[in-house]
A = this chain, B = another copy of it.
């Protein structure tokens, strides 16, 4: 009963999209591979050709999610702005993206939050990518004499840790999230500290 041939990658994308739709509609706890397959109109066995396990499918969803975070930030990290301005914009954008994702799509955000607790490697890679972007901006600031730090990598790591209350999923989704004013205040304080 095989249907008309479709490109593998199209089908893979369709599975991912449908999974996102169902995650948004019913949340992670109600997601079953059988449902995803039924929604597309195929047997669930076939989904396993593309994703060896449900966990792999969810990881792929999370990976897409994370990409949407670090791609726009990557663009900022290579844009044409003074280092301090750029660093501020970079963090403001990171924070805006996270807040927006949380507010617009709490169900998907919850999936990410849950996965963040289990998928050490994927999260570590994501953090590494982001810290490396910060590192580049600080390095530029050093070149122009705007910043003066001994160890750029350490400074970047410090900035990322110190701003965790502003972008870490646990805080972003918490009622303790600081007011806009406090966010700006903390960012300015930290960026000033690099001079």
Docked pose: A175 CA to B175 CA in angstroms: 23
Task: Give the residues from 138 to 195 in chain A that come closer than 8 angstroms, CB to CB, to chain B.
Answer: 154-155, 157-158, 161-166, 168, 170-171, 174-176, 178, 182, 185-186, 189-190, 192-193
A161 touches B165 (CB 8 A): yes
Interface residues of A (CB under 8 A from B): 117, 120, 123, 154-155, 157-158, 161-166, 168, 170-171, 174-176, 178, 182, 185-186, 189-190, 192-193
Closest to A182 in B: B157
A158 nearest CB across to chain B (Å): 5
Q: Which of B161, B175, B189 contacts A193 (CB 8 A)?
A: B189
Docked pose: A181 CA to B175 CA in angstroms: 31
Closest to A186 in B: B158
Closest to A162 in B: B162
B176 touches A123 (CB 8 A): yes
Task: Please list 27 pairs of residues, one from A and one from B, whose beta carbons are closer than 8 Å in the complex, sorted by A's number.
Answer: A117-B174, A120-B175, A120-B176, A154-B185, A154-B189, A155-B189, A157-B185, A157-B186, A158-B185, A158-B186, A158-B189, A158-B190, A161-B162, A161-B165, A161-B166, A161-B178, A161-B182, A161-B186, A162-B165, A162-B186, A162-B190, A164-B165, A164-B171, A189-B193, A190-B193, A192-B193, A193-B193
A109 nearest CB across to chain B (Å): 16
